[in-house]
Amino acid sequence: MATNHYDVLIVGGGISGTALFYELAKYTNVNSLCLLEKYEALATLNSKGTSNSQTIHIGDIETNYTLEKAKITKRTAKMVEKFCLQYGLEDKIMFSHQKMALGVGEKEVHFIENRYHEFKELFPYLELWDAEKLKILEPKIVYQDKAQTKVRPEPIIAMGTNTQYTTVDYGAMSEALAHEAQKVSDIPTNIFYNTQVIDIFEKKDKTFEVRTKSGTVYTANFVVVNAGAHSLFLAHHMGYGKHMGCLPMAGSFYMTQGHFLNGKVYMVQNNKLPFAALHGDPDILADDKTRFGPTALMLPKLERFKPGTYMDFFKTLNFDFHIVKIFWDLLKDSDIRNYVFKNFLFEVPYINKKLFVQDAKKIVPSLSVDDIEYAQGFGGVRPQVLDKKKEKLMLGEASINPGNGIIFNMTPSPGATSCLGNAERDMHEIVKHLGLEYDEVSFLNDLTE
């Protein structure tokens, strides 16, 4: 068996893995870097442009974010923007669209108005748009008929902006991060494709041995696993994170035949639901046709549109009575129970479109079954992590760091937006553990405001 040794080895070539690869190459004096990717190219799973909503989630129109969370998210989201601007990627992989959070009905209108005043200081560019203004900006959300003669009966209001970068092809950004990492550094920065990691062992000399399906063995002083749901699968193999289980949630989308929305329209989030509220987006990979979604369906596999991983799911779920208790507590709530059942029906042929349109009409009242098609091949799988100790669904990113030179990251949505911020956190840990130098001044100048 061939053996290859590196200072740092990263498992997973999606947006999270390539972000760390880039930061280590550019801002530290690491001696050697390696990235192992299971498939034939970078970002073939959740970071792929068709697998997510292509949104920079900054916290301005995400109505389930608290002000404190929005302050944190704003910093990490701006890193994505700064990276793209640094390398002239605007209007190539990063785009500016109008975006808004739409309130429908008196209760939501009051909510949006209050939220606007609360968030205006953090996001000074936000504007409040009434129905008259929305007739100009986004007419299809105001009228309930295609001729645009009848205004919808409910009161509506939106807070939004048309001055910001909003949209990124995260698959293309993954490639850009890897390209710039290899270009900027004269140290070994190797990327190996078609290389599936099957196990990791800590050796007596405190280095790590990474075994692959092909038989090639890699060793490293520090290992970071950014492999989505498979991060927890590999952690369990090493005996870490046994108090966690993984519930893979698949998100699907519906696509319109033509142009329906000028920008991103997000709905008010139900805080009981850990999944994204329905939204409509101009899809940058489908000629700006409008993509509605996502749906949310529990899928008994770790990777969408790829063969296998069913057994990996059962192992990673880590099933016991604690998991049963989490499911029971979730499904006790009628909002969550109805949501789960409805999203299951969204995947059933013949009835799915009709049911989905009823929900999407809250955004575009004139939308009909004939206007949309199930977006074949769109959507990904997000690893929702279950905490068995607390018997709760964990929200946001989950990371396992035993402190011995290995980190496992599980990044459900919006993990792509926070990729450079999460990488910064891991970079600090690596620098400290390996005694490396870190050019903090250049990092902050390049990637923060």
- Which domain CATH number covers 160? 3.50.50.60
**Exposure of 102 in the CB half-sphere (CA atoms within 13 A):** 29
Q: Rounded mean pLDDT of the chain?
A: 93
Q: Which domain holds residue 93?
A: 3-447
Q: Tell me how long the chain is.
A: 449
DSSP 112-151: HHHHHHHHTTTSTT-EEE-HHHHHHH-GGGTBSSTTS-SB
Which two three-digit tokens encode residue 88?
């002239």
pLDDT bin (cut points 50, 70, 90) of residue 2 is: very low
Nearest to 420 by CA among 174, 203, 220, 222: 174
Confidence of residue 398 (pLDDT cuts 50, 70, 90): confident
What the block records as the tokens of 46 is: 């959740």
State residue 1's pLDDT score.
41
- Cβ count within 10 A of residue 442: 11
Instruction: Give me the mean pLDDT over the 203-230 stretch.
Output: 96
pLDDT surpasses 50 at 283: yes
β-sheet bridge partners, residue 265? 100, 280
CB atoms under 10 Å from CB of 190, counted, come to 15
Rounded-to-integer distance, Cα 278 and Cα 297, Å: 14
The three-state secondary structure class of 244 is: strand
Select from 402, 423, 315 the least CA-distant residue to 10: 423
Predicted structure pTM score: 0.95
Q: What is the pLDDT of residues 411-445, one digit of tens each?
A: 766 789 999 999 999 999 999 999 999 999 999 99
- Please report which confidence band the pLDDT of residue 299 belongs to, taking 50, 70 and 90 as the band edges: confident
The domain total for the chain is 1
Q: Per the structure block, which two tokens stand in for 322?
A: 């604690």
pLDDT at 33 over 80: yes
Closest-CA residue to 270 (of 200, 197, 220, 340): 340
Q: How far apart are CA 249 and CA 16, in angstroms?
A: 19
